Structure 1
Amino acid sequence: MTEGPAQTRIRLWDLPVRLCHWSFVGLIPALWWTAENDEMTWHMRLGLALAALLTFRVLWGFVGSSTARFTNFVRGPVAVVRHLASLGKPGHDVTVGHNAAGGWSVLALLGAMALQVALGLISGDPDYGAAGPLYDLAGFELAYEATDWHTEVGFNLILAVIGLHLAAIIFYRTVKRDNLVAPMVTGSRSALAGTKGMAPVAAWRALICAGIGIGFAIWLGMGAPPLTS
């Protein structure tokens, strides 16, 4: 019996990336539920929490571990086409981080959530007891348009991107025999011996990014007051 290539375990995702990922998984349905049940106080609180997480993830995409950085997984159209063409071939190659198509999926999801948060900040109507913290800066007409986009277009856009994301996960699991979910839980996966895993960075970077994200969300919740008197 011929043995297969030697395998080893490599680190793939750091803890901040995994916490962000699963926090997004929990926040999106929670935001939908609070909106559907007119729990607008909690809806706005969760929206600000999402704003803090998005800010953290964007910052972490520049100063975080190697697989978290945008420069590691955002590729041009040629790389995306090559990756998509390789999907029809048997077997799979372990990508240390997001593949070329997955990288753009990450950007699309972050962008859709950021757009939804931005719309929510200026949405609503104070006469009905619910208005985003930046409503006064936007004015009635812009807030009216933003409310329509926030309740219809923005959320449906997020659902569409999530649907593509889930479809890719199912495809990889059933066709390519590659479990993409488990590494996002454990932070590691099997790879060919000699494969270089994630390059970590100091924990203080995550603490600074988290502080900036939380501070930014608090500032938004206060109505974005001027930082100087």
Structure 2
Amino acid sequence: MSATPPRNTPAATAPVRVWDLPTRLFHWGLLAVVVALFVSGKVGGNAMDWHVRLGLGAGVLVVFRLAWGLVGGRWSRFASFVKGPVTVWRYLRGQLPVPAGHNPLGALSVLALLAVLALQVATGLVADDEIATVGPLNALVPEDWASWGTRWHKGPGQTLLLVLVGLHVAAILFHRLVKRHDLVRPMLTGDQALPADTPPSRDSALTRLAALGLLGLCAAGAVWVSRLGG
């Protein structure tokens, strides 16, 4: 006579590939670019030439991530982690298990960061600091648009981006220290401890080659945009 298995036994877990290599490189690359943008913007002077280049680089990464959110690995796709308000509310009430990749609340943070970064890049393209640096598309937009873009880029946009980055870091620390859930390691290794039957993200050599091609297209687009005003 066999013993009855205990109820509510936790499912066996195993390392599951959640973040494909392109997503991980995007994440850490964007972090480096954003830090460099803040530093070069504060230093000013000759560093502003690099600020413009880095801004175009940030634009390349944002466009790449938006596209990769449609065709990338399973857990990098927006469809896998962008949820409705009911799911977000259930997650906040602790009614959902630890998800693969971004949790429903973290998804909102990702979307907000991408949106604000996209707006910062767009306004930087038309900005004019009235000293020595003019965005490559400044001459192609009405003067009042350029004026608004400059004010937003140097003021509210920068502040909002800092706030979002701060909240992002605070959420990582909260999960690590309070919930004992490490969000950083999976973004380094790509793997997360999940139920063994969790489907992994596609992360093959072909996938990575496709991502490289997509990144190249985004970079070519940035070069084309940078030359429009010239």
TM over 0.5: yes
Instruction: Answer yes or no: is the 8 Å Cα contact 1:96–1:198 preserved in 2.
Output: no
- Unaligned stretches of 5+ residues in structure 1: none
Describe the superposition over 1:3-57 as per-residue Cα deviations: whole angstroms up to 9, x where unpaired: 9753311111011111111111111121111111111100000001111111111
- The match for 1:118 is 122
- 1:162 is displaced (CA, Å) by 1.2
Instruction: Answer yes or no: is the 8 Å Cα contact 2:16–2:196 preserved in 1.
Output: no
Rounded Cα–Cα distance in structure 2 between residues aligned with 1:175 and 1:15: 28
Partner of residue 219 from structure 1, selected from 196, 215, 224: 224
Greater mean deviation of Cα atoms: 158-167 or 102-111: 158-167
Alignment of 1:147 onto 2:153? no
Instruction: Give 1:197's aligned amino acid.
Output: P
- 1:203 is displaced (CA, Å) by 3.0
Partner of residue 19 from structure 2, selected from 4, 13, 26: 13
1:76-225 alignment runs, 5 A limit? 76-86=84-94, 93-125=97-129, 128-200=131-203, 202-223=207-228
3-state DSSP class of the match of 2:16? strand
3-state DSSP class of the match of 1:194? coil
Rounded Cα–Cα distance in structure 2 between residues aligned with 1:35 and 1:179: 32
Partner of residue 40 from structure 1, selected from 48, 63, 66: 48
Partner of residue 28 from structure 1, selected from 17, 30, 34: 34
Rounded Cα–Cα distance in structure 2 between residues aligned with 1:4 and 1:59: 36
Greater mean deviation of Cα atoms: 197-206 or 130-139: 197-206
Instruction: Answer yes or no: is the 8 Å Cα contact 1:9–1:189 preserved in 2.
Output: yes
3-state DSSP class of the match of 1:178? coil
- Unaligned stretches of 5+ residues in structure 2: 1-8
Instruction: Give 2:108's aligned amino acid.
Output: W
State the TM-score, normalized to the length of structure 1: 0.88
Greater mean deviation of Cα atoms: 7-16 or 199-208: 199-208
Count of residue correspondences: 218
Instruction: Answer yes or no: is the 8 Å Cα contact 2:21–2:208 preserved in 1.
Output: no
Rounded Cα–Cα distance in structure 1 between residues aligned with 2:25 and 2:203: 15
Instruction: Answer yes or no: is the 8 Å Cα contact 1:96–1:197 preserved in 2.
Output: no
3-state DSSP class of the match of 2:202? coil
Aligned CA RMSD, in angstroms, stands at 2.0
Instruction: Give 1:164's aligned amino acid.
Output: L
Instruction: Answer yes or no: is the 8 Å Cα contact 2:139–2:229 preserved in 1.
Output: no
Rounded Cα–Cα distance in structure 2 between residues aligned with 1:66 and 1:200: 9
State the TM-score, normalized to the length of structure 2: 0.88
Rounded Cα–Cα distance in structure 2 between residues aligned with 1:142 and 1:193: 53
Rounded Cα–Cα distance in structure 2 between residues aligned with 1:166 and 1:215: 32
Describe the superposition over 1:63-90 as per-residue Cα deviations: whole angstroms up to 9, x where unpaired: 111111111111111111111111xx8x
Rounded Cα–Cα distance in structure 2 between residues aligned with 1:116 and 1:179: 30
